[in-house]
Amino acid sequence: MNKNYLLSFALAGFAFITMGMQCNKEMPPPIIPVFQYTAKLSLTPLKKVYSINDTIWIEYKTADKTLFDKLSASNISTDTTFLKVFFTLIKQYPIDRNIDTYASVVVENGLDINFGPLVSTRNDLNFITYCNNDPYYFKVGIILLKTGVYSLQPGAVVSPCPDKKTNLPSTFMYTFDLPDCNYSVWKSIATQSANGQDSYIGFGIEGKQIFAIKVE
């Protein structure tokens, strides 16, 4: 290997490192949330084992157009926002690599929903709340159609109404207002889960951010 080749190789490596450093410098700083909203969901009925065609009702309702902020430990007025809500239903056991529909969905208050399987093991529900000054409200029913063990994870994004162009950066976390989110159901199949997320799912169930569903 001649010296010219070694020199060219070294210069190329130096240029690559320099470009990487410049790219890092040009990356915008991470967005720090101004608000960290949290809210509780009601879920009924609470069971250890559900049957096919059972309906799990999930409801969220506020007294006014405010959300609780963890950072300030106070309610924040959010009268010019709406919620982009999502629920993810993942089949954890038995292993199922096919794209399948595990449930159907009904709503009580006329919201337009999108629901269905997009990838294997997973069904997604998405909808938005009304953009007005009424309190946040939705009630959805998940009708269980297939046997197995599932995890149900809710989430939401606070978005500005059309007449408000900007919104202060925030995060949003739902927790279930339940004494227990069926951790024992998850623990019984955790090592056999098809999704390789044992710690994440278990932590979420213990933290009441994820609900475990067993259907027989």
Q: If DSSP states are collapsed to H, E and C, what string results for 16-62?
A: HHHHHHHHHHHCCCCCCCCEEEEEEEEEECCCCCECCCCEEEEEEEC
pLDDT, one tens digit per residue, over 119-169 is: 889 999 999 999 888 899 999 999 999 999 999 999 999 999 887 767 778
Q: How far apart are CA 155 and CA 182, in angstroms?
A: 19
Q: Residue 148: what residue type? A: G
Q: Residue 175: what residue type? A: T
Please provide the average confidence, as pLDDT, over all residues in the chain. Answer: 86
The region that residue 208 occupies, defined by phi over 0 for left and psi between -120 and 50 for alpha, beta otherwise, is: left
Structure letter (DSSP) for residue 176: E
Place of tokens 């925030």: 170
Q: What is the DSSP string of 68-137?
A: EETTTTEEEE-TTEEEEEEEEEEEEES---S----EEEEESS---EEEEEEETTEEEEEEE---SSSPPE
pLDDT, one tens digit per residue, over 157-190 is: 999 988 776 777 899 999 999 999 999 999 999 8
pTM above 0.85, yes or no: no
The SS3 of residue 209 is coil
Between 166 and 7, whose confidence is greater? Answer: 166
pLDDT at 11 over 70: no
The SS3 of residue 141 is strand
The SS3 of residue 156 is strand
β-bridge mates for residue 144, sequence order: 103
H helix or E strand, kind and range, residue 204: helix 198-206
β-bridge mates for residue 61, sequence order: 137
Q: How are beta strands 170-176 and 35-44 bridged, if at all?
A: parallel
pLDDT at site 17: 43
Q: How far apart are CA 168 and CA 175, in angstroms?
A: 22
